[in-house]
Structure 1
Amino acid sequence: MGPQPGQKTVLITGCTPGGIGHALAMEFHAKGVHVIATARRTAVLAEMGALGMSTVALDVTNAESIKTCHAEVAKITGGTLDFLVNNAGRTHTHPATDIDMDDVRETFETNVFGVMAMCQAFADQLIAAKGLIINIASLAAVTPYVFGSVYCATKGAVVSYSRTLRLELKPFGVRVMVAMTGTVRSQIASKTHRTLPADSIYQRVKELFETRLTFSQNNGTVNTEDYARQLVSKALKSESPLLLRSWFGRPDWFWAGGWAGQTWLATWLGEWVLDFALYRKMKLAHLDQVLKQEAAQKKLV
């Protein structure tokens, strides 16, 4: 079933149940927007299809998959797209000194290059509708999220890319919103398979690393549905002049999720505030103590 005449449409990447994309799809659907839900395997979207949403297979790291999806969406919508939500993402928790470059490239393929490829591919449909791109970024883009340097780098790239994209598409009537997402209940940290290499310099504080693997799900974490409700509400607002957008219209920047308010405030106070806070929050002072104890033991030998 496709959209009804005059019904707005939204394409969301990464809609596997249990994640932010799924919650956004359900909320857009509840608000009367025709949802085009995507995932690598459409089988996981069966219940969404039964609700009347369109379901399309999509791998944002594969050019042919994006091309095929573009063609299918054009058939569904008639060649226009009101909203593109780039939600598909991959977590990456490893100390910067322990990263595997092939693993890093996979994360950039999904979190950065996939976003770029989707914006490029669907620009024509968005321009036809004078639509809105919503790029799901993270507080990690502006915080020193310990043991997450690669993830931070990808989200920082999305933020910088989005700012420029916003200006480039403005003459065509397409807007770009960046979602600065804090801790939200999702499946992104459900896979805790990452381990420290045996020779890691952080083996001495292995417990800190293991705690960090699920940090986003245990610290001020906001319910996925609440986050989705806030974001969709903002996305569906009418346009307002630049100076009024943050309060009355669709904002350029959407801050929500656990720690979002505190982080926003800290960005105005200076990066030292976040450096100080994260160093304490991640208990790196414990590593300081361990290293001092090791140094003292060496002197006694």
Structure 2
Amino acid sequence: MSPHQGQKSVLITGCTPGGIGHALCLGITVLTELAGPGISILQLDVTDAESIKACHEEVSRATGGKLDILVNNAGRNHTHPALDISIPDVRATFETNVIGVMAMVAQFGDLLIHAEGLIINIASLAAVTPYVFGSIFSATKGAIISYSRTLRQELRPFNVRVMVLMTGFVKSNTQSVRRELPEDSFYSRVRDLFDKKVTYSKNTAQFSPEDFAADIVSKALRPESQPLFRSWIGRPDWYWSGGKSSVVWWGSTLFGEWLTDAVCWKMFQLEKLQKMVQSERKRQ
């Protein structure tokens, strides 16, 4: 079934109830008409090429060969010290957070070009801050930022836009992968700090998924404008939203990297471990 005049077709990956994707679905439904009778649920594994291809075929049939908005939201958390990582586990996180996004864009590019559509890639404040015990997750979101910047140029001739969300802390109710510190970890002496970091985002966030979605949808559906004025009166290419997002933006813009380094050092209390190590070395 092809969409009627004025209707928008939107594909959002990673829509587990209680999370950002699910809230975005509900938010977009409220503010704009979706193609067809509201929301349709499709089977999709962004790490499986055949699943992506099948989803593309189903979306193409439902929308008449066009896709107005692709939201690459599916993601995998990864909280573990860099010295304790499992490489297969790291590969799985990159497959979802990075390769999955690239695969979706490559597969759905034709539908987006036909619609002169919009791609929304979900990045994170972790990409621009030293998010302790989150080096793998931070690396995946940093890759998304670099990828999106170049993707925007490559798709510009076809009038397909790319918007990057610099996401702050959002109080999600979705389940996350819990990784334990090995007994011989260099960080076992501050296991309490690691345990605190595992739940830090959920315990710290004040932004609900619904508030986040309402903020994002209102910005994503703004009309296009010239690049110079886009951040103020049109759809921004880069948008910072969620808990502490404005603080990080202002801090990094006005003062630079040294400030975020200093704040995160204090926030995650690794000076506690530093003092332990220094004390042990003095006793040797």
**What TM-score comes out, normalization by structure 2 length?**
0.96
SS at match of 1:134: strand
Shift of 1:292: 2.3
Unaligned runs of 5+ in 2: none
Query: CA-atom RMSD, angstroms?
Result: 1.5
| 8 Å CA contact retained: 1:28, 1:35 | no
* Residue 215 of structure 2 corresponds to residue 227 of structure 1: no
Shift of 1:9: 1.0
**What TM-score comes out, normalization by structure 1 length?**
0.91
* Residue 156 of structure 2 corresponds to residue 170 of structure 1: yes
Shift of 1:139: 0.5
Shift of 1:267: 2.0
What amino acid is the match of 1:151?
Answer: F
| 8 Å CA contact retained: 2:3, 2:64 | no
SS at match of 1:15: coil
In structure 2, what is the Cα distance between the partners aligned to 1:121 and 1:71?
Answer: 10
Q: Give the corresponding residue for 1:52.
A: 38
In structure 2, what is the Cα distance between the partners aligned to 1:79 and 1:184?
Answer: 34
| 273-282 or 289-298: bigger deviation | 289-298
Shift of 1:297: 3.3
Moved over 3 A (4+): 1-5
* Residue 31 of structure 2 corresponds to residue 13 of structure 1: no
Q: Give the corresponding residue for 1:45.
A: none
SS at match of 1:179: strand
In structure 1, what is the Cα distance between the partners aligned to 2:138 and 2:226?
Answer: 31
Q: Give the corresponding residue for 2:169.
A: 183
What amino acid is the match of 1:171?
Answer: P
Shift of 1:218: 1.8
Q: Give the corresponding residue for 2:54.
A: 68
In structure 2, what is the Cα distance between the partners aligned to 1:273 and 1:2?
Answer: 51
Shift of 1:77: 0.3
* Residue 200 of structure 2 corresponds to residue 212 of structure 1: no
Number of aligned residue pairs: 283
1:30-87 deviation per Cα after TM superposition (whole angstroms, max 9, x unaligned): 1123179xxxxxxxxxxxxxx8311110000000000000000001100001100000
In structure 2, what is the Cα distance between the partners aligned to 1:122 and 1:6?
Answer: 21
In structure 2, what is the Cα distance between the partners aligned to 1:35 and 1:279?
Answer: 47
* Residue 187 of structure 2 corresponds to residue 202 of structure 1: yes
SS at match of 1:84: strand
In structure 2, what is the Cα distance between the partners aligned to 1:278 and 1:136?
Answer: 22
Q: Give the corresponding residue for 2:25.
A: 25
* Residue 265 of structure 2 corresponds to residue 282 of structure 1: no
1:94-117 deviation per Cα after TM superposition (whole angstroms, max 9, x unaligned): 000000000000000000000000
| 8 Å CA contact retained: 1:94, 1:147 | yes
Unaligned runs of 5+ in 1: 37-50
In structure 2, what is the Cα distance between the partners aligned to 1:35 and 1:101?
Answer: 41
| 8 Å CA contact retained: 1:134, 1:178 | yes
| 8 Å CA contact retained: 2:220, 2:235 | yes
CA, structure 1 residues 135+182, in 2 after alignment: closer, same or farther (shift >3 Å)? same
In structure 2, what is the Cα distance between the partners aligned to 1:13 and 1:33?
Answer: 19
Q: Which gives a bigger RCO, structure 1 or 2 (Cα 8 Å, sep 6+)? A: 2
* Residue 52 of structure 2 corresponds to residue 88 of structure 1: no
Shift of 1:198: 1.0
